[in-house]
Amino acid sequence: MFTFAADNMTTEDKIKKTALTLFLEKGFERTSIREIARRAKINIALLNYYFRSKENLFNSIFSSLLGKYTPELNSILSSPLPLEEKIKLYVEEYIDILLKNPRLTYFVLSVLHRNPDKITKMKIFQSLYNTGNFSTQFYDEVRKGNIKDVDPTQFFINMLSLITFPFTIKQVIMEKNKMSEDTFKQFMHERKQVITEMLILTIKK
């Protein structure tokens, strides 16, 4: 994966790629369109030629980014797999995504907090927190007596919290435990099993 935009890309893609890198790194407000233009080696005015505004550019990038990862996660939750298998796959896939994109969680949170009312109603955003048929399946298993009577909402939030939160305090974890980048990655890989076992333990009778 390239950090900077290559010269043979279209201008529009150069802008999007460079802007994404900067938005992830420094957030929306601390990233100026002048810095985007400089790093992408294009004129400032082109930013408003292709995208109408900075806000528009951001929304475009945000949608692309979510659209890239949510379908895979949603398809796991909506699949006809047994519950335990589903949980295992979801945890592994989600952590793999975040290992490739450690800043993603905080990025989404920053978007959410900048404009909560608008964002929570965005389709592309809702799909990120869409449980698919997960809750229904969960209730069914409870009714059948296969698993403990646990609130699916609490369970899903547990799962999300355990997977995503560590990435938002990555620097703290690394600093406190004197971890290198590689050690952190290994820690998160180990975490897949920790989380899966923990979650299944809470529902197993």
Partner DNA sequence: TATCGTTTTAAACGTTTGTTTAAAATTATT
Partner DNA sequence: AATAATTTTAAACAAACGTTTAAAACGATA
Q: Pick the binder of DNA from 48, 75, 153, 183 (CB under 7 A).
A: 48
Q: Which of 61, 68, 82 is nearest to 16 (CA)?
A: 61
Stretch that binds a second copy, among 35-43, 44-52, 89-97, 191-199 (CB under 8 A): 191-199
Using CB under 7 A as the binding rule, whether residue 202 contacts DNA is answered as no
Q: Please check whether residue 58 is in contact with residue 65, taking contact to mean a CB–CB distance below 8 angstroms.
A: no
Using CB under 8 A as the binding rule, whether residue 1 contacts a second copy is answered as no
Using CB under 8 A as the binding rule, whether residue 133 contacts a second copy is answered as no
Using CB under 8 A as the binding rule, whether residue 161 contacts a second copy is answered as yes
Residue 152 contact, options DNA, a second copy, none, Cβ 5-8 Å cut-off depending on partner type: none
Using CB under 7 A as the binding rule, whether residue 26 contacts DNA is answered as no
> Which residue, chain included where needed, has tokens 């993603």?
104
Q: Please check whether residue 108 is in contact with residue 168, taking contact to mean a CB–CB distance below 8 angstroms.
A: no
Q: How many residues bind DNA (CB under 7 A)?
A: 18
Q: Please check whether residue 58 is in contact with residue 47, taking contact to mean a CB–CB distance below 8 angstroms.
A: no
Using CB under 8 A as the binding rule, whether residue 83 contacts a second copy is answered as no
Residue 101 contact, options a second copy, DNA, none, Cβ 5-8 Å cut-off depending on partner type: none
The span from the CA of 52 to the CA of 66, in Å, is: 21
Using CB under 7 A as the binding rule, whether residue 46 contacts DNA is answered as yes
Nearest CB to DNA, comparing residues 113 and 205: 113
Stretch that binds DNA, among 53-61, 98-106, 137-145, 152-160 (CB under 7 A): 53-61
DSSP letter at 52 equals S
Q: Pick the binder of DNA from 52, 68, 100, 118 (CB under 7 A).
A: 52
Q: Cα 28 to the chain's mean position, in Å? A: 17
User: In sequence order, which residues have a C-beta less than 8 Å from that of residue 93 and are 6 or more positions away?
Assistant: 72, 73, 76
Using CB under 7 A as the binding rule, whether residue 45 contacts DNA is answered as yes
CA distances from 37 to 18, 51, 128 (A): 8, 13, 30
Q: How many residues bind a second copy (CB under 8 A)?
A: 43
Using CB under 8 A as the binding rule, whether residue 118 contacts a second copy is answered as no
Q: Please check whether residue 200 is in contact with residue 148, taking contact to mean a CB–CB distance below 8 angstroms.
A: no
Q: Please check whether residue 66 is in contact with residue 124, taking contact to mean a CB–CB distance below 8 angstroms.
A: yes
Give the binding site for DNA (CB under 7 A).
Answer: 11, 31-35, 42-49, 52-55
